[in-house]
Structure 1
């Protein structure tokens, strides 16, 4: 199938916009859940204003802290905007157990996209929990692969690294 025909079919299929800010930024990881390649659904890097990132949920499956976005007026979250076929909506919901839909607006390629789906944690923890090394690397791979600003990628790296260090210190103190 030619690339032109593929994009033509994608544009005619009912779809929705989805803003990913965690492990779903990585098209390879998203493919694992959705069952098909997602690279061609990437619109581009996007910015969500009025929110900040935090690790306010513990994933039992991954046994670590996972990302969430929380409202904070002076902050912004970088992520990836996808245009996904509607037929993948239920699979995305299954992946995001413990999260609920939130309709947001994001800026991507000089344009405001409104009524974009993202997911926020239903029951937020009061403290952040560090990601494990696997989640850490998937988030960074997605951020880098999809072209998020370099400064933001470094801030993300630093935030996750500091959480891991703090958690490691707490574990060392508990075992002493």
Structure 2
């Protein structure tokens, strides 16, 4: 005697197997905290060099106390001044806290030109949601310029886009805008005087 095919019994093992697969615990990937204060605040631009979406790794706006922002590096790649942080006990820097997978560490170092001596790691304490976070990685310029150098329009825009997108305080975004704009104005005035 041939038994008839019972569809409900055939589906049961498949459904049970899918449920087990969905509830399996996958090992958590090792991560590190990263405080971005320049173009890396923009997850879209960070994706460009890291090669994958970075929005899921954004924790949110954070503050680095005891440092100030400045354009103390000339980027050969961008042909303009780029951001740096300098110790200053009276100041603070707003930025974005990421929790990145360790597998992206080398690519982030390449972006920040660590292998060629552009930036170096600095371990800092930042404040995120009114809580201190120790052992956070950020980057500081190795050979700082004596004076700040103006950013170009592209860098200006990507820094502001990151600051606004990731929810930095509006007042800080305006300070950042004004600082970059003043540097550009000074640069253009200097160029005009030289060409006259």
TM-score normalised by length of structure 2: 0.84
Gaps of 5+ in 2: 1-21
Match in the other structure for 1:65: 81
Q: 98, 103, 120: which is aligned to 2:140?
A: 120
State the distance in 1 between where 2:166 and 2:133 align. Answer: 18
Match in the other structure for 1:171: 191
Root-mean-square deviation (Å): 1.2
Match in the other structure for 1:31: 47
Q: Which runs of 4+ in 1 moved over 4 A?
A: none
Task: Please say which structure displays the higher CA radius of gyration.
Answer: 2
2:111 counterpart of 1:95: yes
State the distance in 2 between where 1:71 and 1:110 align. Answer: 21
Match in the other structure for 1:157: 177
Match in the other structure for 1:143: 163
- For these two proteins, the number of residue pairs brought into alignment is 169
Q: How much has 1:106 moved relative to structure 2?
A: 0.4
2:22 counterpart of 1:22: no
TM-score normalised by length of structure 1: 0.94
Q: How much has 1:40 moved relative to structure 2?
A: 0.6
Match in the other structure for 1:42: 58
Match in the other structure for 2:97: 81
